[in-house]
């Protein structure tokens, strides 16, 4: 049995050695080593995922097994959900590293160590079973992410974006630590299972305050309204390969942190209360808000960033439903969304590489030459709309099976984000209609990541995008996916099983059924895809329809007062963060006390 | 004894935290930060945390203000150079 | 003198709000970074307060018999990590500030708003 | 958003947040009445099982050593980030060019300090080095440890800078070895953990025989890990200081005739 410690230690060791010897190691060896390490992580986490379908195990670092009911050391809990997300993180890192083969020549050999540290942090975060250890990996993830975000130091915009990102996320981390301290004082434990057992049934003000601070911390990472302001700033300026990881997995891991804490620590406290509805409402608001902002954007990376906010909102909604089917659907949705979003960012990266701009009006009609990228981009747009044939639709159908009313939110978010991407596709790759409005955000300048940009696209750069989009389609037709998701969700929700695993070393997982496609999903998915195509064409060809019917282009151009909130000032973001935390606290107190 | 010292120190820390964020001049603030770091270290000693106190003295009272000073120096230095380049000589 | 029951927790809350207030009112990026360290220091006060035991010794058994009442060593280990996190975040943020000044020519968060809308 | 609007918005949020915080804290055990079992158990076990007298270090480097591994890499990635952000501009175009901070050419400041101060500071340099090493290796016995010792070691070259022995300062801090040590220290920690794996035990299990409690070599891997951390922290902070000073140093050198 391979040791789970390798998931974290191998990337860290390779990162440290690459950093120590960066002057001596030629670039291609660094590339190769990094890709191999990330690939190794992928293999290892897939092995553990397969294992977790039958048995979930716990791994104690330093051999410090619990004495009686007390955990002495730190444990990794290798359950399906965590291993699945670790596998997704490793897959996306591998693809991002392949995409950036020979890129970032100016980074002086610091790029690979940071990427590998980032990977190790994400893997550890996904499977850790210790509250403070989760905080450590949260910080490790953040530190590597801050540095990677400010990689392009030649313009001031990336530095401003990285600064906003760092300030808001650091505040979030300190709020989390406050919550951890409160829980430690209440229970005298840091192990999740032990805290959960000690708190069971208790829902006083102390537990509520800890819940509010911890959840705020994680929701900042998950970019929920009103904690989301940092995300577009950070995405618009990061290198493409880093965007893939930010949007594809890091934000979702933030949500997963909130889920993990809820499933282990707070599930027993809040059973029978309406606390999960906090997540449903937050998620629904975020999904709609993000979708509207996404459609109003004309900077490609910012547009994709807002679609990430919208889709993470949908995921939060699914989490708040808190049933096995919804969590299984969520699992499929996270994986599928990660792949599609990564594919779209990689296509945007190819556009950036070729034309050295990310502005939709500036790119108008210029994409005709890129025959390979266009179909990928359009498929990605349909994928975001969760069209039939994409795994997102499978996940969505499992969620709406539980809550049919959520179909409306999924429809708005999917149709608008898909339409925004398709609109860009029609304008850039087909040169349809006019160039679209020029707004301030679209004028943010961006330099490509390589020195030979502008004239040549390395064929290797297409491979990851093809794998991503193709993978998302293939997943939709693989019935085993829903089985994996079902089993992962069942064991994730089962706190008793989790605690048994922690104290007894392992738990046997009952096999889940494979559901595959749910029939009603086809209809909704088809309607959504049609709506996305219709809205995008409507927006692109708005001059040819009567003035009365031009509402998609109004949505595209007239969000001014709302967009002003996205002010680029870290002080504003922290003020919103405080307000969000207060609202969350007020709602939690009101629901429980 | 510990209680008196602790209550007093905490009050002092609470006051200086506010003073620290109300100081607008950055150079003054660096000095205040150093003082604030020392206060925290003192509190760690009083509350029986010598390990953390040592770390806090080395980091909070020395390394952090040093880094801030270095950053400010570097910015001033860059400004001086920029001004010199602008001057027609 | 008795130990007032909730006093250090309220001080920690106060320091947290002070730090956030500093970030929100900041007109200088370095000022903002220092305010962030104030936010961080609130977690020190909280952790230290919850691990403290009346009449307890420091958890160092160099000159102590092994059965002695000591304060909690766990929170102190957590605080050590916290100290390191603080330094590293500050180092990274200051590097961003310096570079942003060199590229954008400003240290005011009001003028460093290249990303809007 | 206008500044006044922002402050009002914050005031509303802070009121709510402070209320949640204080309401929660009211339910905490009263100050000074620690009751958690975790810390007490560790305080008892560490002396017997790990032969350490400073239990905080036993927690930091053994019971919760995996946290500290993460923490060391937080430092590692922050140092890498600082080097990345503050790297000299020329390097942006051609990555393969060597970016060393220049040879430590001989130069001296004209307005020198008094010789007494210089002598004194140089003497403290020696003490700082010795004290740093002592602290990094005796963490398991007395307060201190790799991290604290490392910071003191990193402060030693700064003393040279203050003593205006800029040449020696630059020779130390711009040496490629510093960068190597920083990575090697971080990797060393993880490799000590891997050694246990190779022997069939769990990651970061102690594999070095324990000595007599109270002795420097009493506690197995704790001392080794502490030393690795010390090396990494010292090198890391030195690198950060050098990156901030690089520009000023190179300019000083150019101004010298």
Asked if C16 reaches chain A (Cβ–Cβ under 8 Å), the answer is yes
Q: Give yes or no for residue A453 having a pLDDT over 70.
A: no
| Distance (Å, whole) CA B46 – CA C8 | 14
Number of domains in chain C: 1
Q: Give yes or no for residue A196 having a pLDDT over 70.
A: yes
Contacts of D194 in chain A (CB under 8 A): 9, 13
Mean pLDDT of all residues in D178-199: 94
Residue C96 forms part of a structural domain: yes
| Distance (Å, whole) CA A171 – CA A217 | 8
- Quick: pLDDT tens for C61-113: 877 787 788 899 999 999 999 999 999 999 999 999 999 998 888 888 888 77
Chain-centroid distance of CA A139 in Å reads 17
* HSE-up (13 A, CA, CB side) for residue A325: 14
Listed by start position, the domains of chain B span: 2-86
Burial bucket for residue B89 (CB in 10 Å: 0-12, 13-18, 19+)? exposed
| Distance (Å, whole) CA D243 – CA A113 | 18
Residue A191 bridge partners (DSSP): A130
Listed by start position, the domains of chain D span: 54-88+101-255
Of the candidates A252, A478, A127, the one whose C-alpha atom is nearest the C-alpha of residue D66 is A127
> How much is the mean pLDDT over chain A?
91
> Tell me, what CATH number does C89's domain have?
1.10.287
pLDDT number for residue A90: 97
The set of residues, in sequence order, having a beta carbon less than 8 Å from that of A519 and lying 6+ positions away, is none
Lowest-confidence pick of A34-48, A144-158, A161-175, D154-168 = D154-168
More confident site: D22 or A237: D22
Q: Quick one: tokens of A335?
A: 């994986």
Of the candidates A251, A516, A467, A454, the one whose C-alpha atom is nearest the C-alpha of residue A340 is A467
| Distance (Å, whole) CA A244 – CA A119 | 12
| Distance (Å, whole) CA A298 – CA C48 | 49
User: What is the four-CA torsion angle of C79, C80, C83, C87, rounded to 10 degrees?
Assistant: -160
Listed by start position, the domains of chain A span: 274-477+532-558
Q: Which domain holds residue C90?
A: 7-54+62-104
Q: Where are the alpha helices (DSSP H) in A21-130?
A: 27-52, 80-99, 111-127
- Quick: pLDDT tens for A354-393: 888 888 888 998 988 888 899 999 999 999 999 998 999 9
CB D135 within 8 A of CB D152: yes
ipTM above 0.85, yes or no: yes
**Residue D113 pLDDT grade (very low, low, confident, very high; cuts 50, 70, 90):** low
**C9, C36, C83, C91, best to mutate vs chain B, most B CBs in 10 Å:** C83
> How much is the mean pLDDT over chain D?
83
H helix or E strand, kind and range, residue A75? strand A75-78
pLDDT number for residue C20: 97
Mean pLDDT of all residues in A576-592: 96
Buried b (16+ CB within 10 A) or exposed e, C5-41: ebbbbbbbbbbbbbbbbbbbbbebbbbbbbbbbbbbb
- Quick: pLDDT tens for D34-73: 887 899 899 888 888 888 888 999 999 999 999 999 999 9
CB A99 within 8 A of CB A347: no
Q: Give yes or no for residue A277 having a pLDDT over 60.
A: yes
Say how many CB pairs under 8 Å bridge A and C.
133
Q: Where are the alpha helices (DSSP H) in A188-299?
A: 192-199, 205-221, 230-237, 240-245, 251-261, 267-270, 276-296
| Distance (Å, whole) CA B74 – CA D245 | 7
pLDDT number for residue D158: 83
**Residue B89 pLDDT grade (very low, low, confident, very high; cuts 50, 70, 90):** low
Q: Touch between chain A and chain B (3+ CB pairs, < 8 Å)? A: no
Question: Phi, psi at residue D187, to the nearest 5°?
Answer: -65, -35
The set of residues, in sequence order, having a beta carbon less than 8 Å from that of A238 and lying 6+ positions away, is A148, A149, A151, A158, A161, A246, A301
Of A74, A109, A585, the CB nearest to D17: A585
The set of residues, in sequence order, having a beta carbon less than 8 Å from that of C67 and lying 6+ positions away, is none
Contacts of C76 in chain D (CB under 8 A): 56, 59
Asked if B67 reaches chain C (Cβ–Cβ under 8 Å), the answer is yes
C-alpha distances (whole Å) from C45 to each of A185, A582, B30, B52 are: 13, 22, 21, 12
More confident site: D102 or A561: A561
Q: Give yes or no for residue A581 having a pLDDT over 70.
A: yes
**Residue C24 pLDDT grade (very low, low, confident, very high; cuts 50, 70, 90):** very high
pLDDT number for residue A550: 75
Of the candidates A578, C9, A390, the one whose C-alpha atom is nearest the C-alpha of residue D14 is A578
Percent of chain A beyond pLDDT 90? 73
What is the DSSP annotation of A56-70? EEEEEGGG---BTTB
Task: Kindly calculate the radius of gyration of chain D based on its CA atoms and give it in whole angstroms.
Answer: 24
pLDDT number for residue D256: 55
The set of residues, in sequence order, having a beta carbon less than 8 Å from that of A259 and lying 6+ positions away, is A81, A319, A492
Asked if C41 reaches chain A (Cβ–Cβ under 8 Å), the answer is no
Asked if D25 reaches chain A (Cβ–Cβ under 8 Å), the answer is yes
- Quick: pLDDT tens for D84-94: 999 887 544 33
Contacts of B50 in chain D (CB under 8 A): 143
Residue C39 forms part of a structural domain: yes
Q: How many residues does chain D have?
A: 257
User: What is the four-CA torsion angle of D159, D162, D164, D167, rounded to 10 degrees?
Assistant: 50
- Quick: pLDDT tens for A543-556: 777 777 777 777 77
**Residue D108 pLDDT grade (very low, low, confident, very high; cuts 50, 70, 90):** very low
What does the longest C-alpha to C-alpha distance in chain C come to?
64
Angle between helical axes of A480-493 and A27-52 (0-180°, round to 10): 70
What is the DSSP annotation of A150-177? T--TTSHHHHHHHHHHHHHHHHHHHHHH
Residue C111 forms part of a structural domain: no
The set of residues, in sequence order, having a beta carbon less than 8 Å from that of A255 and lying 6+ positions away, is A218, A219, A221, A222, A312, A315, A316, A319
Of the candidates C21, A240, C107, D110, the one whose C-alpha atom is nearest the C-alpha of residue B22 is C21
Of C27, C33, C98, the CB nearest to B24: C27
* DSSP summary character for residue D112: P
Contacts of C52 in chain D (CB under 8 A): 31-32, 34
Q: Quick one: tokens of D219?
A: 């506690």
Q: Give yes or no for residue A191 having a pLDDT over 60.
A: yes
pLDDT number for residue D104: 38
Asked if B21 reaches chain D (Cβ–Cβ under 8 Å), the answer is no
Q: Quick one: tokens of D243?
A: 């990156």
**Highest mean pLDDT, choosing among A532-536, C52-56, D45-49, D166-170:** A532-536
Q: Give yes or no for residue A316 having a pLDDT over 80.
A: yes
Contacts of D142 in chain C (CB under 8 A): 60, 62
Mean pLDDT of all residues in A515-520: 74
Asked if C70 reaches chain B (Cβ–Cβ under 8 Å), the answer is yes
Mean pLDDT of all residues in A503-507: 88
User: Using CB atoms, which chains have 3+ pairs under 8 A with B?
Assistant: C, D
Question: Phi, psi at residue D128, to the nearest 5°?
Answer: -60, -40
Of the candidates A306, A311, A222, the one whose C-alpha atom is nearest the C-alpha of residue A259 is A222
pLDDT number for residue D105: 38
Lowest-confidence pick of A174-188, A312-326, A523-537, D208-222 = D208-222
Of A146, A156, A441, the CB nearest to C112: A156
Burial bucket for residue B2 (CB in 10 Å: 0-12, 13-18, 19+)? middle
pLDDT number for residue C117: 66
**Residue A461 pLDDT grade (very low, low, confident, very high; cuts 50, 70, 90):** confident
Q: Give yes or no for residue C3 having a pLDDT over 80.
A: no
Q: Quick one: tokens of A442?
A: 């679209």
Among chain D residues, CA nearest to B2 = D32
């Amino acid at each position: 049995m391979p040791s789970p410690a390798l998931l974290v230690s191998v990337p860290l060791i390779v990162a440290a050695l690459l950093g120590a010897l960066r002057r001596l190691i030629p670039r291609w060896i660094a590339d190769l080593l990094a890709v191999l390490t990330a690939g190794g992580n992928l293999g290892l986490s897939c092995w553990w995922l397969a294992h977790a379908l039958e048995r979930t195990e716990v791994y104690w670092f330093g051999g410090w097994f619990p004495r009686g009911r007390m955990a002495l050391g730190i444990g990794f809990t290798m359950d399906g959900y965590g291993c699945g997300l670790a596998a997704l993180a490793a897959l996306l890192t591998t693809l991002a590293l392949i995409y950036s083969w020979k890129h970032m020549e100016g980074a002086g050999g610091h790029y690979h160590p940071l990427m590998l540290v980032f990977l190790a942090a994400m893997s550890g975060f996904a499977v850790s079973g210790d509250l403070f250890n989760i905080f450590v990996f949260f910080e490790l993830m953040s530190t590597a992410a801050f540095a990677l975000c400010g990689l392009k130091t030649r313009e001031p915009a990336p530095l401003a974006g990285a600064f906003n990102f760092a300030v808001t996320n650091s505040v979030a981390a300190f709020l989390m630590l406050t919550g951890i301290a409160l829980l430690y004082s209440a229970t005298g434990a840091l192990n999740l299972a032990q805290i959960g057992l000690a708190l069971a049934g208790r829902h006083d003000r102390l537990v509520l305050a800890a819940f509010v601070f911890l959840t705020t911390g994680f929701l900042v990472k998950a970019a929920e309204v009103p904690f989301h302001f940092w995300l577009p700033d950070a995405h618009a300026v990061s290198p493409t390969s880093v965007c893939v990881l930010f949007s594809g997995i890091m934000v979702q891991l933030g949500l997963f942190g909130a889920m993990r804490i809820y499933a282990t620590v707070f599930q027993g406290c809040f059973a029978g209360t309406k606390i999960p509805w906090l997540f449903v409402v937050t998620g629904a608001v975020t999904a709609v808000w993000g979708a509207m902002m996404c459609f109003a954007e004309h900077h490609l990376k910012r547009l994709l960033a807002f679609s990430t906010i919208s889709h993470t909102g949908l995921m939060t909604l699914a989490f708040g439903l808190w049933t096995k089917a919804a969590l299984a659907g969520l699992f499929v949705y996270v994986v599928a969304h990660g792949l599609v979003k990564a594919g779209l960012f990689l296509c945007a990266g190819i556009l950036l590489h070729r034309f050295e701009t990310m502005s939709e009006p500036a790119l108008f009609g210029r994409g005709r030459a890129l025959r390979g990228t266009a179909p990928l981009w359009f498929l990605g747009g349909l994928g975001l709309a969760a069209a039939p044939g994409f795994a997102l639709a499978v996940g969505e159908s499992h969620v709406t099976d539980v809550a049919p009313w959520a179909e409306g939110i999924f429809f708005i978010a999917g149709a608008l984000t898909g339409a925004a991407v398709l609109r860009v596709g029609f304008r850039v790759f087909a040169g349809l209609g006019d160039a679209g409005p020029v707004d301030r955000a679209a004028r943010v300048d961006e330099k490509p990541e390589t020195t030979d940009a502008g004239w040549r696209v390395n064929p290797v750069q297409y491979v990851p995008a093809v794998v991503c989009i193709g993978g998302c389609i293939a997943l939709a037709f693989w019935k085993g996916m829903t089985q994996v998701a079902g089993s992962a969700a069942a064991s994730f929700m089962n706190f008793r099983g989790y605690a048994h695993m922690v104290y007894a070393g392992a738990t046997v997982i009952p096999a889940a059924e494979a559901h595959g496609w749910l029939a009603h999903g086809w209809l909704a998915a088809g309607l959504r895809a049609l709506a996305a195509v219709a809205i995008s064409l409507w927006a692109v060809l708005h001059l040819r329809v009567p003035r009365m019917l031009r509402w998609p282009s109004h949505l595209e151009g007239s969000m001014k007062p709302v967009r002003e909130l996205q002010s680029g000032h870290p002080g504003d973001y922290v003020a919103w963060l405080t307000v969000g935390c207060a609202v969350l606290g007020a709602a939690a107190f009101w629901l429980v006390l | 004894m510990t209680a008196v010292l602790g209550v007093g120190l905490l009050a002092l820390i609470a006051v200086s935290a506010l003073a620290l964020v109300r100081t607008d001049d950055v150079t003054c603030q660096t000095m205040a930060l150093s003082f604030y770091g020392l206060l925290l270290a003192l509190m760690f000693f009083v509350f029986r945390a010598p390990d953390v106190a040592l770390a806090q003295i080395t980091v909070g009272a020395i390394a952090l203000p040093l880094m801030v000073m270095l950053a400010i120096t570097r910015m001033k230095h860059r400004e001086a150079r920029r001004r010199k380049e602008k001057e027609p000589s | 003198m008795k130990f007032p029951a909730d006093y250090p927790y309220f001080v920690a809350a106060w320091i947290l709000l002070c730090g956030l207030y500093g970030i929100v009112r900041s007109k200088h990026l370095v000022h903002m970074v220092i305010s962030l360290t104030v936010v961080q220091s609130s977690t020190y006060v909280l952790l230290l307060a919850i691990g403290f035991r009346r009449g307890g010794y420091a958890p160092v058994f160099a000159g102590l018999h092994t059965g002695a009442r000591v304060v909690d060593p766990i929170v102190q280990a957590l605080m050590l990590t916290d100290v390191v996190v603080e330094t590293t975040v500050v180092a990274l943020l200051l590097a961003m500030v310096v570079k942003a000044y060199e590229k954008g020519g400003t240290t005011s968060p009001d003028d460093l708003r290249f990303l809007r809308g | 958003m206008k500044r006044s609007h922002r402050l009002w918005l914050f005031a509303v949020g802070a009121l709510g947040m402070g209320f949640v915080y204080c309401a929660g804290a009211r339910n905490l055990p009263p100050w000074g009445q620690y009751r958690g079992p975790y810390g007490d158990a560790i305080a008892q076990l560490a002396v017997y099982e790990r032969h350490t007298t400073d239990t905080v270090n036993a927690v930091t480097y053994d019971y919760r050593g995996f946290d500290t591994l993460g923490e060391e890499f937080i430092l590692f990635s922050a140092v890498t980030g600082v080097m990345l952000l503050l790297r000299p501009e020329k390097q942006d175009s051609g990555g393969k060019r060597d970016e060393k901070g220049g040879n430590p050419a001989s130069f001296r400041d004209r307005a020198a300090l008094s010789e007494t101060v210089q002598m004194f500071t140089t003497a403290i340099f020696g003490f700082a080095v010795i004290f740093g090493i002592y602290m990094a290796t005796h963490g398991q016995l007395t307060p201190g440890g790799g991290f604290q010792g490392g910071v003191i070691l990193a402060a030693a070259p700064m003393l040279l800078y203050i003593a205006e022995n800029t040449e020696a300062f630059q020779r130390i801090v711009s040496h490629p070895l510093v960068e190597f040590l920083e990575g090697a220290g971080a990797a060393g920690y993880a490799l000590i953990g891997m050694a246990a794996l190779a022997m069939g035990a769990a990651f970061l299990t102690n594999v070095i025989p324990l000595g007599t409690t109270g002795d420097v070599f009493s506690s197995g891997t704790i001392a080794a890990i502490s030393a690795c951390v010390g090396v990494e922290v010292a090198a890391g902070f030195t690198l950060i200081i050098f990156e901030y000073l690089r520009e000023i140093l190179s300019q000083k050198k150019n101004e010298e005739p």
